[in-house]
Each structure stands twice: as C-alpha cells, then as structure tokens.
Amino acid sequence: MKPILEIQHISKKFRIRHEKQPYLSIRDSFSSLFKPSNNSTEDFYALQDISFNVNQGDTIGIVGKNGAGKSTLLKILSKITPPTSGKIICRGRIASLLEVGTGFHPELSGRENIFLNGSILGMKRSEIVKNFDAIVDFAGVERFIDTPLKHYSSGMQLRLAFAVAAFLENEILIIDEVLAVGDSEFQEKCIGKMEDVSKSGRTLLFVSHNMGAVKTLCNKGVLINEGKLVLHDTMNAVAMKYITNSSHRNNEFIIDYHKHRNGIGYATKVSVEDIEGNTIQVISIGQAWQIRVNFTINEQIPHFIIGIGFLTSESIPFRTSWSVPQVILPGNYEAIFKETKIHYGSGKYFIHVGLSSREQTFNYIQDDISIDFDDYVDKSIAPRSNGLILNQMESEIKKL
Amino acid sequence: MEYEIKPRTKLTLGLAELWLYRELFYFFTWRDIKVKYKQTVLGFLWAILQPLLMTLLFTFSLGRIISENSTLNMPYPLFAMSGLVVWNIFSSGLANAGNSMVNNANIIKKIYFPRLIIPISAVLTSLFDFLMAFIIFIGMLFFYQTKVSIPHFILFIPLSLFVTCIATFGIGSWLAALNIKYRDFRYVIPFMIQGLLFLTPVIYPLSLINNVSLKYLLAINPMYAGVEFFRYGITMQHFDNQLIIISVTSAIFFFVVGLFYFRKTESYFADLA
C-alpha cells in the first residue's frame, strides 16, 4: 500500500528583516524604492530538504528543540503556509489542531461555538449535529451550553474546544502541543482520546516536548534540528537521540552575567552534576544529583541567601530551596545544592536562581536553565510511581 | 482522494475548493451577524435604524435645497433612503471586508480553508443588513404611494445588488490583502468610505452637477451604477448610458483586480499576519 503522506524535499525560506518590524508600512516600501536597501534582509531556512513517508495508522511524534522547525512543518502540512520548494503527496483528509478552539468567539454561546469551531475545523454541519450531544457530554458543559463563552472558566473553554476536535473524523490528524495547556486530568483525557484515535487506524502526527506523552502515544518519531531532519525511526530511538543530542549542549549553563550585572553580585554559571561533581545531562530516576551555582560578590553582605527554584515544563512552580543566611565577603563563590532523597518524575524542569541580601533579591536568573530526568525508574526505589514526586509515602494497613 | 501540497505556481480561482467549504460561508456570515448585534437592546433593529436615521438627517439638512435645485421624481426622503440602503452595503461591506483578514488573523494562522470565504462573508453580512433595511424601504414606497413598475423592479434591483456586491467584494478583498501587509490601510478605509459618499449620487442627484467632465470622473466610481440601477428599478428615472457603462466597467475592473491580487498573495497571509 502506498504511504498516506509522502513528504518530499520540503524547504521553507523566510526573509528576515533586520529592522525587526512586525509588518511593513507603505512608507517603507516607497523609501526602499528610492534608496536601495543595504542588505537589510537575510534568508533563513526554517526547514531544509525534509523528506519522510508516513504510512496509514502510524502515530508519528515530531520532536526537536524550540525553533527547530516543527511548527513550520505542521503549518505546511496543514496548508496554512506553502513550502518554498518540495511537495507533499496526501492520500487522505488532513485535520490540523495547531491550537484548541480556533475561531472560538467569546460573545457566542457554547452551542454556537461548537458549530462555528467544528465547521472551521472542516466538519460538515450534519456531522456536528450528529455528534452534538456527545461533544457536549465529553466537555461536561450541559448546563452552560447556551451561556456566552466569555462566562466560561478557562478550563471549561478548553474542554469544550478539545471535545469538538475529538470528534473529527479525518484520516490524518495533526496535533501541536495541545497538551501543553490544561491540568493533568485534562491532559490524560487528551492522551486517552488520542490513543483511541490511533487505535482506530487513523494516522496521527503529534508535536510535543513531553517525552513521556510522545513515547506512550507514538510508534514512530521524527527528530528535527535547525530545520533539518536528523532521524526518522522508531519513537524510542528518536527520543533517545533527542535526549543525547541535547546533551551536546552539556549541562553547564554559563550565564550571560553582563545582562544581569549589578554592583552587589551576580551568578556566573549553573551546572547540573552527579554527586561526584561530573556534569550530566540526564539524571536517571533514583540517582543522586546536585546543582552547583558559581557566583561573584562585590560587596560585603551581612545577610546573604542563595536560593534555587524548580518549575515543571509547564512552568508551574514546583519547589524552592534556600541556603542558610550568612555574612559574605567580596569574592568568587560556589554553592552546591544536593538532592539525595526526593525523586522527581521524568521530564524537564526549569531552574531559577536568586541571590538575596536580607529580603531583597539583587540577582535573579530565569534563563533557559533546565534539568532532565529520564523515565528509567529504579524499581527498588520507586515502584510503580508516577507524577512529579516518585517517593512513596509511609503507609500501613491495619485490621479493624 | 489524493492531492499535493506544493509551492503555488499557477493562479486559479479555486472554485471547486470554495464549493467544498461552502458551509463556512454560512457560518462566518452567521457569526458576524450574531456578534454584531449581541448584547444590544435593539438587536437587528439597528440594521433598520441606521439608514433610517441617516435619511432623516439628510432630509432635514439637505432635503429642501436639493429638491428645489433639481428634478427628483420621488420625494427626497425616499430618494435618500434608496441611495443609502445600497450605499450601506458598500460602506459596511468595504469596512468589514477590508479589515476581515486582520481581524481573523488568529484563525488564518492556525487553520486552512479557502481565504476568500472571509471577505465574501463580510460582504454577505452587509447584505443581510440591507435586507432588513429593504423591508422598511418597501414600507416607505407604500407610504409615499410610489408607482413602481414590477418588471423594472424585479430586473434592476437585483442588477443593482449584483454590481454593488462585485464592486464591494473587489475593493474589499483588495484592501483586505493589502491591509495584512501594510497596516496603513486600516486608517485609509474609513477615510475612503467617507470621501466616496460625497462622490456618489447617494444624497444628491447627478443632475445637480453641470460640469460634464466632472460627471465622467464621478462615473469611475462603481457605486454610481449601483445606486442608479436601484433608483431606476423604483422610478425608471432616466440614466446616462455612457456613464453607466463606465461605472459598470469600473466595478468589473475592481472585482477582477481585487480577486486577482487576493488570490496571488493569500498563501502568505499566515506568514504576514
């Protein structure tokens, strides 16, 4: 059987204007007529020569760093933007969900929005009518179905939006980071629905940073880096490559302290290490680890505290930790935060660092510093655990 | 079903695709109408009140002067209303269509459908307002006991609407495409509509103008034909064939250029929006 999607040598070129104007004005066009621009534009390839085939029933996870070109690829597949060169042969109807609730209008009621959103997604009116009750039921918004959407909570809006999308009957579904929003219950519902979709023999293309979700859902993967196809293989192989690939960046985060520089002091480097002090990219669950922060102090501080904070990949604050207050003299220092007891769930966590004098934070780093936990679980430490913290609680069963 | 996604090479109208997505016309038009009158006390009444109030305004301010200085074969309020109901298709259609792509940028960046549906729906929305006002207009015809030739009415009112709609759509879609690239047009559109109201015989008859070359200049305005056809359908008031031909040609010209420019640039809307 022929592949359902043949992606052949797709490239996408953007022209970058260096003035960084989001849009043009006529005056600019006129003035450039008279004064030939001194090369103020630059060509930038968001995608370069991407080729791969997708077979019917495949669930493909597309992974890569931010800015790698994943979203551009999805936009080309969804026909939102044309490729600069190359072509894609499609043998099925494509529905793309680059966002949930596209076209939702706050002034319209839930009922009206179901019809509007459904038809924008490409559903026939008859299909929407047929599935209407099921959609409302899935979203759980029966009572508010004739209330304007603006009075819905954001969670309800999200559920409604996903419910409409869940009833798309297209042969090929393209989903972009839809799961990046919503609470964990909603995310699980989404994953469950997508599993159903893939089991029903339809084809799914799925972009996400959530390695756990991609690995449970997808059988094949595509890794894109800087607009180029790095690997097209089984999902496990691709996920492995992605994790090891990003470790080339290693796990020492040099902080551009000029940006944060101030008189009192500033952090210069943050590194993620194993307990012996070797920098590591991915921490196996159960392994002890530490974070080392190098910093410079220029003035004597009578009440110095250094703190680090962890955020989940959805940027939800997860944990903070502070040093004991102390007097500190000018000089270069390092602080080490060790973790030997608590086991974090697999995934990426962001790290913030703050230096404070009494209650006043004078240097706060929230750059892209992150720490990754692999999903390898040492069963003796955390049997059958899942979630953000894998440690077991103390429990006992008593006969009454 | 097999199709290809590749760089656009040749320019087509994409009619087959428009047909495939025909339900979206309905949904976008319906959305715009709904949203327009949501949370208003008077609701759809506004579609009637707007031209009615304008007619009152013009009748009290200009009615006497114009009636005395020209030969109208209908009362001035009817004359002004007949001009305004057609004019409103153009003015609101142009404003809606011209801003439609920018206003719907969040949708066009996230999903594909034939982009032409958006400006066309914008014109359809203003056609809905016309229908509401038209009911009142028919009431006015009875009130003033105007003698209407039914065959003329049936022939020329639709003709007027047709010319008005293709002109509105043509200029509107052109502006929509330009607007997404050059946001200057957002400011040009209201100004343009206001200016054109005075260059179209909406509130005054063309017979008021004696300068022949000025008449020809005014006839370049596609709405000249729209308004004249409409009035001809009511009173069979004579119109100048030459001027009408110029005006209809202009409407067709704007329709073709607008459609062509829109189709030519539409694939990059998502990158620019």
What is the C-alpha separation between B4 and A284, in angstroms, rounded? 44
Tokens read off for B121? 């729906």
With contact defined as beta carbons under 8 Å apart, do A298 and A330 qualify? Answer: yes
Which of B23, B29, B111 to probe the A interface (max A CBs under 10 A)? B111
**Confidence grade of residue A17 (pLDDT, cut at 50, 70, 90):** low
- Cβ of A90 within 8 Å of Cβ of B3? The answer is yes
Nearest CA among A272, A352, A349, A365 for reference residue A314? A349
Residue A327 near chain B (CB below 8 Å): no
Q: Which two tokens stand for residue B165?
A: 């709609």
Instruction: Tell whether A112 lies on the interface with B, counting CB pairs under 8 A.
Output: yes
**B35 CB within 8 Å of a chain A CB:** yes
* pLDDT bracket for residue A2 (50, 70, 90): confident
B100 within 8 A of B169, measured Cβ to Cβ = no
Hey, which residues 120-149 in chain B have their CB within 8 Å of chain A?
none
Write out the two tokens for A254. Answer: 């040099």
Tell me if residue A289 falls in helix, strand or coil: strand
Q: Among B7, B21, B111, whose Cβ lies nearest the Cβ of A84?
A: B7
Spatial contact of B140 and B77, defined as CB atoms under 8 Å apart = yes
Residue A340 CA to residue A15 CA, distance in Å, equals: 50
Mark yes or no for CB contact A23/B272 under 8 Å.
yes
Chain B closest CA to A27's CA: distance in Å? 9
Residue B3 sits at the chain A interface (C-beta within 8 Å):
yes
On whether the CB atoms of residues B119 and B255 are closer than 8 A, the answer is no
Higher pLDDT, A17 or B211: B211
- What distance in Å separates residue A50's CA from the closest CA in chain B? 13
- Residue in chain A lying closest to B36 (CA): A107
Cβ–Cβ < 8 Å for B80, B56: no
For residue B109, give the chain A residue with the closest CA.
A80
Sign of CA dihedral B149, B151, B152, B154: positive
> Which residue shows structure tokens 């899935």?
A138
Q: From the list B35, B106, B183, which residue is nearest A107 (CB)? A: B35
Single out the residue of A363, A368, A218, A245 nearest to residue A297, CA to CA: A363
CB-CB under 8 Å, A80 with B110? yes
Q: How many CB pairs under 8 A join A and B?
A: 103
Q: Residue A398: which pLDDT band, with cuts at 50, 70 and 90?
A: very high
Please check whether residue B29 is in contact with residue B118, taking contact to mean a CB–CB distance below 8 angstroms: no
pLDDT bucket at A178, cuts 50 / 70 / 90: low
Q: Is B9 on the interface with A (CB under 8 A)?
A: no
Residue-level pLDDT at A240: 77
Question: What average pLDDT does this structure show over B189-218?
Answer: 86
Name which of A178-182, A226-230, A344-348, B3-7 the model is least confident about.
Answer: A178-182
d(CA A350, CA A348): 7
Inter-chain touch B271–A81, beta carbons under 8 Å: yes
A186 at interface of B, judged by CB pairs closer than 8 A? no
| Bridge partners of residue A60, in order along the sequence | A205, A220
Interchain contact, B111 vs A78, CB within 8 Å: yes
Q: How far apart are CA B197 and CA B88, in angstroms?
A: 10
CB B129 within 8 A of CB B80: no
d(CA B263, CA B257): 10
Q: What percent of chain B has pLDDT over 70?
A: 100
Nearest CB among B27, B39, B183 relative to A23 is that of B183
Looking at the complex, does the CB of residue B272 fall below 8 Å from at least one CB of chain A? yes
**pLDDT level of residue B49 (50, 70, 90 thresholds):** confident
- The residues, ordered by sequence, that sit 6+ positions from A347 with a Cβ below 8 Å of its Cβ are A210, A211, A212, A312, A313, A372, A373, A375
Which of A129-133, A295-299, A313-317, B119-123 is least confident?
Answer: A313-317
Q: What is the largest CA-CA distance in chain A?
A: 92
CB neighbours of residue B56 within 10 Å: 14
Q: Do A76 and B23 touch (CB under 8 A)?
A: no
Tell me which chain B residue has its CA closest to the CA of residue A120: B24
Provide the 10 A C-beta neighbour count for residue A400.
2
User: Phi-psi region for residue A185, left (φ > 0), alpha (ψ -120 to 50) or beta?
Assistant: alpha
- Whether residue B39 and residue A102 make contact (CB cut-off 8 A), yes or no, is no
Helix A110-120 and helix A154-166, axial crossing angle in degrees, nearest 10: 40
Between A184 and A75, the more confident residue is A75
Looking at residue A216, its pLDDT comes to 79
Phi, psi for residue A94 in degrees, rounded to 5: -100, 135
**Residue B210's pLDDT is what?**
80
Of B2, B24, B182, nearest to A89 by CB-CB distance is B2
Can you tell me the distance from the alpha carbon of A72 to that of A322, in angstroms, rounded to the nearest whole number? 41
Alpha helices in chain B (DSSP H): 15-20, 22-37, 45-58, 64-69, 76-103, 105-108, 117-143, 150-181, 185-199, 212-219, 222-235, 241-265, 269-272
Task: Return the DSSP state at B62.
Answer: I
Q: Across the interface, do A90 and B2 touch by the CB < 8 Å criterion?
A: yes
Residue A19 above 60 pLDDT?
Answer: no
pLDDT of residue A385: 63
* Chain B residues with beta carbon closer than 8 angstroms to that of A9: none
pTM: 0.74
Which residues in A lie closer than 8 A to residue B111 (C-beta atoms)? 78, 80, 96, 98, 102-103, 120-121
User: Do the strands A203-207 and A220-225 form a parallel or antiparallel pair, or are they unpaired?
Assistant: unpaired
- Chain A residue with minimum CA distance to B110: A98
Q: Is A165 on the interface with B (CB under 8 A)?
A: no
Closest among A177, A59, A167, A180 to A122, alpha carbons compared = A167
Q: DSSP labels for A16-69? A: EETT--SSB-HHHHHHHHHS---S-EEEEEEEEEEEEEE-TT-EEEEE--TTSS
B179: number of Cβ within 10 Å: 22
User: Beta partners for B5?
Assistant: A88
Q: Name the DSSP class of B72.
A: -
Picking from A168, A156, A160, the residue whose alpha carbon sits closest to that of residue A103 is: A160
- Is the CB of A119 less than 8 angstroms away from the CB of B267? no
**Considering only residues 61 to 80 of chain A, which have any Cβ-Cβ distance to chain B shorter than 8 Å?**
75-80
pLDDT tens digits, residue range B218-246? 888 999 999 999 999 888 777 788 889 99
Taking only the tens place, the pLDDT of each residue in A264-303 is 888 888 888 888 888 877 787 778 899 999 998 988 889 9
What pLDDT is stored for residue A250 in this prediction?
58
Contacts of B38 in chain A (CB under 8 A): 107-108, 148
Instruction: Please tell me the distance from the alpha carbon of residue A178 to that of residue A162, in angstroms, as a whole number.
Output: 9
CA atoms of B150 and B234, how far apart (whole Å): 9
Please check the confidence at residue B254 and state whether its pLDDT lies above 90: yes
A99 contacts B110? CB cut-off 8 A: yes
